[in-house]
Amino acid sequence: MSTPLQTALCSFGMSGKVFHAPFIHTNPGFNFYAVWERSKKTAHQFYPQVKSFDTLESMLADETIELVIINTPNVTHFEYAKMALKAGKHVIVEKPFVINVAEGDELMALAKNQNKKISVYHNRRFDSDFRLVRSVVQEGLLGETNQVEIRYDRFKEQLSPKLHKETPGPGAGLFYDLGSHLIDQALQLFGKPEAVFGDLTILRPISKVDDYFEVVLFYERKRVILKASNQVREGVPAYVLHGSKGSLIKSRTDVQENDLIAGKTPGCEGWGIEPETSKGLLHTERNNEIVREFITPPKGNYMDYFDQLYKAIRFEEPLPVTATEGLEVIKVIEAAIKSSKEGRVVKFNVQ
């Protein structure tokens, strides 16, 4: 393997500590070199070798750094990614990529001009449950898939301690937070929709930003419904797909996030393997016979993202998630917000 990518994180909160540091620390293609910590200096407790910077400017001035991960509040993604690209760094931007399409266009043009890679961290593509759904759709096991519902529900009686998620402003609310995951998965499965309808609202009296959404993506012979709520105590299946030959029902049971929070190391024994009780239910037709069976998901593995990113930077292989793909998610977000405000279906890509 070539020289490891000298990598810096822009934050060591939950995102940095759980979703990024464990991977860039254990993957031989990366070296967790630096972190920007404004006040609390906690990264060295877990990674004694890491270099801590007080300001983003001073971190970006370090010529050793090759790759910067923008894992800060949504509203800062554009500004910080722009600064990193101008400093000559490759960039990973947490989802959602940016707040609006204009910001994404500018970052993509800047990355091209700087001859640097820019990728969006849509890690839920690498969940075991979604990998099962994608394989079933791609193999045509449901025939022509025509009715789909993808959900990401939680039950939260209190507001998030992360104030930037609960304070009204650009990029705040459940839709930008979880909607970006669901939209990306829908686009990966079925491509761009023809039109979008959105319903974003506040259900909890304590909420100041949207905590519920339902979005319908319109295709010629298909409807895809994306939903999330913070008021669902008894969960329902996260993936329900119906087609001309059969149906697939699957719960959201990828184990990686919980294992990371528990301190497990990526790649350890049993990594990404769902419990036996979490199989997907496939009810379809095969070889002119009706079959109803439980199928085992493939392993989930966020490390696949980092492996491919390394190859993209060092050997010019394809990025695991492109900025263009990240921007398509933002286009759907903008269309759904417009639809919700105006109470009508919005033709996709028509502003």
Domain count, the chain: 2
Each as own residue / partner, the long-range contacts of residues 284-288 (CB below 8 Å, 24 or more positions apart, any chain) are 284/141, 284/142, 284/143, 284/243, 284/245, 284/246, 284/247, 284/248, 285/143, 285/245, 285/246, 286/141
pLDDT of residue 279 exceeding 60: yes
Assess whether the previous peptide bond of 193 is cis (omega < 30° from 0): no
Q: What is the pLDDT of residue 349?
A: 64
Is residue 315 situated within a structural domain? no
Where is the domain boundary, 63, 98, 121?
121
Same domain, 87 and 183: no
Q: Which residues contact 310 (CB under 8 A, 6 or more apart)?
A: 5, 27, 29, 30
User: Domain for residue 317, yes or no?
Assistant: no
Q: Which of 217, 225, 216, 215 is nearest to 193 (CA)?
A: 217
Rounded Cα distance between 137 and 139, Å, is 5
Residues 284-309, mean pLDDT to the nearest whole number: 96
Residues 237 and 265 in one domain: yes
Residue 212: Cβ-neighbour burial (10 angstroms; 0-12, 13-18, 19+) = buried
Domain shared by 91 and 128, yes or no? no
Q: Which among 97, 121, 145 is the end of a domain?
A: 121
Instruction: Give the global pTM.
Output: 0.96
> Mutual orientation of helices 180-190 and 323-342 as an angle, nearest 10°?
110
Closest CA to 149 of 19, 238, 59: 238
User: How many angstroms separate the first and last alpha carbons of the chain?
Assistant: 46
* Whole-Å CA distances, 241 to 65, 76, 119, 208, 335: 44, 36, 29, 33, 24
Task: Verify that 74 and 181 share a domain, yes or no.
Answer: no
**35 lies in which domain range?**
5-121
Instruction: Provide the pLDDT for residue 1.
Output: 55
Average pLDDT over residues 306-310: 98
* pLDDT over 90 at 162, yes or no: no
Say if 325 falls within a structural domain. no
Cα dihedral 259, 262, 267, 269, rounded to 10, equals: -80
Query: Looking at residues 310-320, what average pLDDT do you find?
Result: 97
If asked whether residues 180 and 279 sit together in one domain, one would say yes
> Are 14 and 141 members of one domain?
no
40 versus 254: the higher-pLDDT residue is 254
Where is the domain boundary, 100, 121, 142? 121
Q: Is the pLDDT of residue 351 over 50?
A: no
**Same domain as 62, residue 21:** yes
Are 64 and 47 in contact by the 8 Å Cβ rule? The answer is no
Residues forming a β-bridge with 62: none
Q: Note whether residue 145 is domain-resident.
A: yes
Looking up residue 159, the CATH number of its domain turns out to be 3.30.360.10
User: What pLDDT does residue 77 have?
Assistant: 98
> Kind of pairing, strands 67-70 and 90-94?
parallel
Separation CA 169–CA 171 (nearest Å):
6
Task: Indicate whether 179 and 236 sit together in one domain.
Answer: yes
Contact indicator for 119, 91 with CB cutoff of 8 Å: yes
Stretch 271-291: mean pLDDT: 95
Is the predicted pLDDT of residue 18 greater than 90, yes or no? Answer: yes
Q: Among 85-89, 161-165, 172-176, which is the least confidently predicted range?
A: 161-165
Place of tokens 């304070």: 167
Helices 128-138 and 180-190: crossing angle, nearest 10°?
20
